[in-house]
Amino acid sequence: ETGVTQSPTHLIKTRGQQVTLRCSSQSGHNTVSWYQQALGQGPQFIFQYYREEENGRGNFPPRFSGLQFPNYSSELNVNALELDDSALYLCASSFDRVNEKLFFGSGTQLSVL
């Protein structure tokens, strides 16, 4: 059984650019959610995908978008990067959308200069 994997581990972008982060769910999981964790803060919910459709969203602007693929892997896209987007982005998968138990990846550290 493979765990949740995220790529890349680190990324440096400049303000205004676009970025795509990737996540492979744990085997057997059909739900993936994304969280943003700023330094010194707890993870903040961005959105959740269940069977390729978004079924929950936190308080993030539309320039944060995502996709889930038939194999349940996922992407997080952020357009028009701002300095405040610098954070650790965590992907978590779960067995179903009730997501009682989340399995987290190690995260992608994004720095926006």
Using CB under 8 A as the criterion, which residues of the chain lie in contact with another protein when the complex forms? 3-4, 33, 35, 40-48, 55-58, 90, 92, 97, 99-107
Q: Minimal distance in Å, beta carbon 68 to another protein?
A: 14
Which residues lie closer than 8 Å to 54 by C-beta, 6 or more apart? 47, 48, 66
The residue (of 67 and 103) whose beta carbon lies closer to another protein is: 103
Calpha distance 57→93 (Å, rounded): 15
Q: Minimal distance in Å, beta carbon 98 to another protein?
A: 9
The residue (of 17 and 55) whose beta carbon lies closer to another protein is: 55
The helix/strand count (H/E) of the chain reads as: 0, 11
Q: Minimal distance in Å, beta carbon 88 to another protein?
A: 10
The residue (of 27 and 106) whose beta carbon lies closer to another protein is: 106
Calpha distance 105→113 (Å, rounded): 25
Q: Minimal distance in Å, beta carbon 3 to another protein?
A: 8
Residue 85: helix, strand or coil by DSSP?
helix
